[in-house]
Amino acid sequence: MTTTNTTHALHDAATPATPSFLQSSWLVAEREVRMKLRSKAFLISTGILMLVVLGSILIGGLVGGNEEATKVAVTGDSAAAVQGQQGLDVTEVATAEEAEALVRAGDVVAAILPDDSTALGIIVVADSETPTGLLQQLSITPPVALLDGDAQNPFLAYLVAIAFGVVFFASAMTFGSTIAQSVVEEKQTRVVEILMSAVPVRALLAGKVLGNSILAFGQIAMITALAIIGLTITGQSELLSVLGAPVLWFVVFFVLGFVLLAALFAATGSMVSRVEDIGSTTTPVTMLVMIPYFLVIFFYDNPVVLGIMSYVPFSAPVGMPVRLFLGDAQWWEPLLSLVILAVTALGTIVLGSKIYENSLLKLGGTVKWRDALTH
Amino acid sequence: MLTLTDVTKTYGSRRALDAVSFDVAPGRMTGFVGGNGAGKTTAMRIILGVLSSDSGSVTLDGRPLSAEARRRFGYMPEERGLYPKMKVEEQLVYLARLHGFTASAAQKKAERLLDRLGLGERRGDLVESLSLGNQQRAQIAASLVHEPDVLVLDEPFSGLDPMAVDTVVGVLSDYAAAGIPVLFSSHQLDIVERLCDDLVIIAGGQIRANGPREQLREQYSSRRYELHVAGDAGWVREVPGVTVVDFHGGDTIFEVDSEDTAQAVLRDAVARGPVTSYSRQRPSLAQIFKEVVA
């Protein structure tokens, strides 16, 4: 636009070029990030989340690594029977009587003594209970060939499923509610009228979604990095090697999944006029975040539920990585699910920006769904 | 020239604006006056495009307003709006950057504007920590920071103390003097009277009076005159066609039945002795307002 006649007198520079859609969105995103990083509550809660992640990895490492060795007493004649056995803390004594005394005193769990009358040539002498664990260690078991060699320890699978569920839930809720609040704050303080006269409404929405997605992605990336470092330090690199790929997929799914939710949070947030009323329109979206969390807790071992979850856009960020971890998914499945998620996210952004545009200037009450969707 | 033509807006069964037409000329301060609910804010929001009209048009220099042109407007909404948790200067820089200024240019403009409006010392304070009057100044700064081509300000003077009013009046006058159309609404008729070049009076969604201030005062002045003479002015009572309203020695206020009678009184007065002053009484803005709105 050309400035006319005398207006230059007050303008010491030519009228600046209108920023592009991307530039505008980026400015809005930058503000979102800056304001969030300035919030003490946010920084503290992020710190706590990080500590919880680090703590659970360290505790997991300690519990897993320090299985206490079973204390046993042997005499010179029976020492050969325990040779090469893992997990035994062997005390060698001179006589069978000394060994039995140690058992009675509780210094050892059992004594392993020579006995020619048994088939193995030894006898296990314990105090009042049969030491089952020790017997298993001493038993000879035939070798086993597993047809499904990749299957994971079910307890570990449960933990991993819950971890994905919790991280997705926590991040989506934190940044989802942030975006909804930020939208309502602008509406409530009427700053939106000034913003709308400066930038296109869509750039405003895009900037909010972008800014909060960057924050959410940053948090997830930090948690992932922390988990990898933690697992490496505590010597759980075996777990890391099976978790690596699912975690990377989780991050990819999370980014798209969050954009989808962010658009919904922004749209539903824009429908109310006061921060106190946010719940009245964002509840359905909150449900969409909570359902996959609960499903994965209750059905982590149900392949049918997980299979469905891994394709439904709202739960795919949790469902698909869990299936990948369990080794249940074919190589093309995450790609297909990702395409479905991306298409849904795109559709949601279009729908969300319509609701947002229709609701942003309707001050006073709560906008009805019908009014928000039609114009 | 910003022009509204037959702008109409209806809320349900209530007609908020009824074929509203007026101009805001470049380089002139146009005061927009009306009672509560008269339609000032609705009209301003329609000008800014944050509200759509049912019919009618808003043009700038004859061209319909595009979103692009509106970006060059400076707007102060009726309901004050700034981010409460942002610092004053940071907020202005943000707004200027949204309008396309580089970070350093935006910074420079924000600083200069804050100094100009007497908020220089508060630039690092959060908006929510400012007094209402200072928040108001920050709001005015927010509408000016991108060096707009048109200014539309809803009640820019409400809540300001007399010194702050003078500061803001000075700033706005500079903008008008630079050739920018300035439209502002106010309840404070004395300020409008002092400040505006043109006047638009709205009531019940209809424009009741509209034009240059002096022309309106002329138009709405009654046939009332004020005479000051050295001697006693009691004789005025005797002039045919004159009704004396107020009389005090040599000072008298009277109404006449025609322009000729008024001239006759002046000739008579000059013949009788020295005349200190003789003038037609012009109504104040408040009087005109009451008359046209009634």
Residue B143 forms contact with A (CB below 8 Å): yes
Beta-sheet pairing, B73-76 with B150-153: parallel
Question: Does the distance separating the beta carbons of A185 and B83 come in below 8 Å?
Answer: yes
Interface size between A and B, measured as CB pairs under 8 A: 103
Q: Which of A7, A22, A190, A196 to mutate to test the interface with B (most CBs of B within 10 A)?
A: A7
Q: What is the DSSP letter of A122?
A: E
Give all strands (DSSP E) within B88-195, no chain letters.
Answer: 150-153, 182-185
Residue B97 forms contact with A (CB below 8 Å): yes
Contacts of A189 in chain B (CB under 8 A): 80-84
The 10 Å Cβ neighbour count of residue A141 is 6
Q: What is the DSSP letter of B119?
A: -
Q: Please provide the average confidence, as pLDDT, over all residues in chain B.
A: 90
Lowest-confidence segment of A82-86, B172-176, B240-244 by average pLDDT:
A82-86
Question: Does the distance separating the beta carbons of B81 and A189 come in below 8 Å?
Answer: yes
Each residue of A124-180: pLDDT tens digit? 888 887 887 777 777 766 766 666 555 567 777 788 888 888 888 888 888 999 899
Distance CA(B11)–CA(B3), nearest Å, equals 23
The 10 Å Cβ neighbour count of residue B229 is 21
pLDDT the model gives residue A234: 79
Higher per-residue confidence, A361 vs B106 = B106
pLDDT the model gives residue B91: 93
Q: Give the dihedral sign, CA B141/B65/A19/A2.
A: negative
Each residue of B174-216: pLDDT tens digit? 999 999 999 999 888 888 888 899 999 999 999 998 999 888 8
Lowest-confidence segment of A113-127, A219-233, A329-343 by average pLDDT:
A113-127
Name the pLDDT band for A65 (thresholds 50, 70, 90): low
Q: Please provide the average confidence, as pLDDT, over all residues in chain A.
A: 83
Of the ranges A65-79, A231-245, B5-19, the best mean pLDDT one: B5-19
Task: Name every residue whose Cβ is closer than 8 Å to that of residue B270 and which is 6 or more positions away in sequence.
Answer: none
Distance CA(A315)–CA(A309), nearest Å, equals 5
Beta-sheet pairing, B198-203 with B206-212: antiparallel
CA distance B69 to chain A (A): 8
Each residue of A334-352: pLDDT tens digit? 999 999 999 999 999 899 9
Residue B102 forms contact with A (CB below 8 Å): yes
Residue A10 forms contact with B (CB below 8 Å): yes
Name the pLDDT band for A118 (thresholds 50, 70, 90): confident
Question: Does the distance separating the beta carbons of B105 and A16 come in below 8 Å?
Answer: yes
Residue A228 forms contact with B (CB below 8 Å): no
Per the CB < 8 A criterion, the answer to whether A355 and A267 are in contact is: yes
The 10 Å Cβ neighbour count of residue B294 is 7
pLDDT the model gives residue A14: 54
Question: Does the distance separating the beta carbons of A19 and B98 come in below 8 Å?
Answer: yes
Question: In the predicted model, what is the mean pLDDT of residues A77-100?
Answer: 78
Distance CA(A184)–CA(A274), nearest Å, equals 6
Distance CA(B131)–CA(B135), nearest Å, equals 6
Percent over 70 (pLDDT), chain A: 88
CA distance B161 to chain A (A): 23
Which residues 254-293 in chain B show a CB within 8 A of chain A? none
Domains in chain B (CATH in brackets) are 2-218 (3.40.50.300), 221-283 (3.30.70.250)
Contacts of B82 in chain A (CB under 8 A): 189, 191, 194
Residue A13 forms contact with B (CB below 8 Å): yes
ipTM of the complex: 0.78
pLDDT the model gives residue A84: 67
Which residues 160-199 in chain A show a CB within 8 A of chain B? 185-186, 189-199
Reduced to 3 states (helix: H, G, I; strand: E, B; else coil), residue B24 is strand
Q: In chain A, what are the domain boundaries?
A: 24-59+151-373, 71-138
Question: Does the distance separating the beta carbons of A197 and B49 come in below 8 Å?
Answer: yes
Contacts of B71 in chain A (CB under 8 A): 18, 197-198
Task: Name every residue whose Cβ is closer than 8 Å to that of residue A368 and which is 6 or more positions away in sequence.
Answer: none
pLDDT the model gives residue B105: 93
Distance CA(A135)–CA(A129), nearest Å, equals 12
pLDDT the model gives residue B142: 93
Per the CB < 8 A criterion, the answer to whether A106 and A81 are in contact is: no
Contacts of A10 in chain B (CB under 8 A): 147, 174-175, 178, 180
